[in-house]
Amino acid sequence: MVLAPGYAPLSFTAPEPGSYALPAMGSAADGAVIDSEGNSAKLHDFLGDKPTVLSFIFTTCDDVNGCPLATYVMRSVQDALRADPATADKARLVSFSFDPVFDTPDVIDAYGSQFRAGDFDWQFLTTEGATTLDPILNAYGQWVIRDYDENGEYMGTMSHILRVFLIDESRQIRNIYSTSFLHADTVANDVRSLLMEATAATSADTGS
Amino acid sequence: MIIKGFFSALIALAVLVQPTSADETCMSPYMAKIVGQEDYVYIWTLGLEGVGNGEDKLVTVDVNPDSETYAQVIHSISMGGRHEAHHSGLTDDRRYLWASGLDTSKIFIFDVHTDPAAPKLHRTIDDFVEKTGGVVGPHTNYALPGRMLITGLSNNRDHGGRTGMAEYTNGGDFITSVWMPTDDNLQGAEKSGNFADGYGYDARALPRRNVLVTSSFTGWNNYMMNLGKMMGDAEAMKRFGNTVVIWDLHTRKPKKVLDVPGAPLEIRCAWGSRSNYCFTTTALTSKVWLIYEDEAGEWQAKAVADIGDASKIPLPVDISISADDNHLWINTWNDGLTRLYDISDPFAPTQIMEEQIGEQVNMVSQSWDGERLYYTSSLLANWDKTTASEGNDLQYFKLYKWDGKTMTPEFNLDFVELGLGAPHQMRFGAHALYGGMTAQSPSGLITAPPAH
């Protein structure tokens, strides 16, 4: 088993935050979700007020280079941002389940409690079912193949391509990461780049 | 069957596969791979006047030997004219095939997941030049995570070789563009030699080194000109690319411009975790070049082998690196040969065999297991040969079986006789990529890009 690069030290020096552009890749879609306390909400409730890293996962995923990689990297991003008071409360992580059958609010709450550090803004979301989930997955290009046995019975497992999104305060997608491109150092610096961008915009607005 | 969990699956299988060449290894490292029997080959085909309806086409050939329609054209979409069909590429999730036209600068996006046996046109990008600020001739369609990188060959100001690259979302929405570095505007890059010509052609990524490598060909004025006329035009022959550019993959900023004189074309990067190098071949000077990171972390370029007799202009075109980085297939268009090089020492490649494929040969694509070699013939509408010597095929799609020593012809489709045109880029399709299991795809094994 060869682990994805996100599990190892970055094999190059991550570009300096603010030294590069992250062009907008389109609007982040909305949809009906349920938070880890069981409250109905909109996905946009969790996007737009600060830079957000959004990953699509399911808690029973056993592919070490799939969902566990996403959560591992997001925890490392959390650690990096928490370590600096200037960024500790300036960004959000969202882990969004695409298995509404198993990943009930209680399940994602328990899952999230394993990874969330302190009061860091890391949200865990699920949906009521395929009716609300599928339009969101389609809008984000997060396609999933549900695995069925020879009798056509759902096996409770899925094949999917890993997608993690960086979304800015205007709800614009600014980067997309996949297995070979997902590393905490670069993701954290992308978040810092968006924060610097927002600070620069604020300074320009106020003339300071 | 589908291997559940795309990501670890590949890594497990990558250890098991035979160390052979494979077109799948020449594609984006971000892309899921077919490692079993491919079901279909999608062939981006140039329309020829007087052949069928004369239009460019996406042609689908059934290549699964268990199928009742094996070795037959089972589907074809005509594109409403000729666009100089050239290269194509799949998105990272392999749901869409992007195919571009060098003349009209249109990009056609085909849905290949709804019915892999019958691709359908999903979207046409017809404002590429406008959106990119003047880039002409979309060439390489290369998958990056959730987006496509499109290299250009030319520009709309003088239709010469200065050009740029563009990025689009997988859905076909424009994101951004960047121009290649030139003497006038190096954009912060280091000019390491004599050239900073701003030309473009191919692109390949080495994610673990955060490097993107681009090569350089020629502009619209040349690639749309009759080959004989161009070869006799001394000024035109000066307008070919002489550079390879090393980019910061994450920031898309050029870092270093390397001299690689003679039109470096396809780029193939090694897969080994410590193999920080790529190969390219030069069309005009007929050499293999190694683009490598030295011990000091600096990227360099070095000519490491000759390809045939350069004075006879064999014109190396498509190349394909093996999964174990030990072999490189090199096609030479002008003499119709495919040549196998031992590249186990990347600084000293050696040709170990050659085979006549046709009057002319351009592209080579292999199955993941290396046992199947597909070939097509066409280079450019105004460069292709119009007659073939006795016993040689002119415009074809061929399959050879390869056992590591001998090539055995399996089938040969004459694209003129079939009324299709001049076949160019090939890409593979499989039902198993999309969860569909059919009798035609009993052994489709799908996996994802390896982690480096």
Could you report the per-residue pLDDT of B345-395, keeping only the tens digit for each?
A: 999 999 999 999 999 999 999 887 788 999 999 999 999 999 999 989 999
Q: Which phi-psi region, left, alpha or beta, contains residue B32 (left: φ > 0; alpha: ψ -120 to 50)?
A: beta
- For chain A, list residues whose CB is within 8 angstroms of any CB belonging to chain B: 1-5, 11-12, 14-15, 19-21, 23-26, 61-66, 69, 141, 143, 145-147, 157-163, 176-181, 186
Asked whether B158 and B137 are in contact (CB, 8 A), the reply is: no
When divided into structural domains, chain B yields a total of 1
Average pLDDT over residues B158-168: 98
Q: Is-contact A155 A102, C-beta < 8 A?
A: no
Contacts of residue A15 in chain B, CB cutoff 8 Å? 210, 248, 250-251
Output the pLDDT for position B186.
98
Provide, as residue numbers in chain A, all residues whose Cβ is less than 8 Å from the Cβ of B122: none
- Rounded distance between C-alpha atoms, residue A81 and residue A195, angstroms: 11
Residue listed under structure tokens 């300074």: A203
Query: Looking at beta carbons, which residues of chain B come within 8 Å of A56?
Result: none
Query: Which CATH number characterizes residue B180's domain?
Result: 2.130.10.10
Of A1, A65, A178, the CB nearest to B30: A178
Question: What is the structure's pLDDT at B208?
Answer: 87
| pLDDT higher than threshold 90 for residue B412 | yes
Residue B237 contacts residue B173 (beta carbons within 8 Å): no
Residue B443 pLDDT: 27
- Does the pLDDT of residue B272 top 90, yes or no? no
Task: Say if the Cβ atoms of B208 and A64 lie within 8 Å.
Answer: no
Which DSSP helix (H) or strand (E) runs through A53? strand A52-57
Pairwise CA distance, residues B89 & A32, whole Å: 35
pLDDT in tens, B190-247: 999 999 999 999 999 999 899 999 999 999 999 999 999 999 999 999 999 999 999 9
- B169 and A25 within 8 Å at the Cβ level: the answer is yes
Is there a contact between B32 and A64 if contact means CB atoms under 8 Å apart?
A: no
Q: What is the pLDDT of residues B135-153, one digit of tens each?
A: 999 999 999 999 999 999 9
What CATH architecture applies to the domain A25-206?
Answer: 3-Layer(aba) Sandwich (3.40)
Q: What is the pLDDT of residue B18?
A: 26
What local confidence, expressed as pLDDT, does residue B439 receive? 28
Domain ranges of chain A: 25-206
Does some domain include residue B138? yes
Window 118-147 of B, Cβ < 8 Å to A: 144-147
What are the 10-residue block averages of pLDDT along chain A, 208 residues in total? 88 96 98 98 97 95 88 98 96 96 96 96 96 95 78 73 94 94 96 93 71
- Report d(CA B166, CA B141) in Å as an integer: 10
H or E segment and range at residue B49:
none
Return the residue in B1, B2, B3, B4 with the most chain A beta carbons within 10 A, the one to mutate for interface testing.
Answer: B4
Structural domain containing residue B131: 21-430
Residue A41, C-beta contacts closer than 8 angstroms, at least 6 positions apart: A32, A33, A34, A35, A125
B306 lies in some domain: yes
ipTM above 0.90, yes or no: yes
A129: Cα within 13 Å, side-chain hemisphere: 1
C-alpha B273/C-alpha B275 separation (Å) is: 6
B residues 15-74 closer than 8 Å to A (CB) = 29-30, 32
| Residue B223 lies inside a defined structural domain of this protein | yes
Indicate the residue of B6, B207, B250 with minimum beta-carbon distance to A161: B6
Tell me if B146 and A21 make a contact (CB, 8 A cut-off).
no
Q: Would residue B271 count as lying in a domain?
A: yes
Q: Is residue B335 part of a domain?
A: yes
Q: Which of A11, A66, A180 sits opposite B5 (nearest CB)?
A: A66
CA distances from B183 to B162, B186, B198, B399 (A): 11, 6, 8, 45
Please say whether the beta carbons of B57 and B79 come within 8 A.
yes
Whether B114 contacts chain A with CB within 8 A:
no
Q: What is the pTM of this model?
A: 0.93
Q: What is the pLDDT of residues B66-118, one digit of tens each?
A: 999 999 999 999 999 999 999 999 999 999 999 999 999 999 999 999 999 99
Residues B105, B32, B44: CA angle, nearest 5 degrees = 30
For residue B161, being part of any structural domain is answered with yes
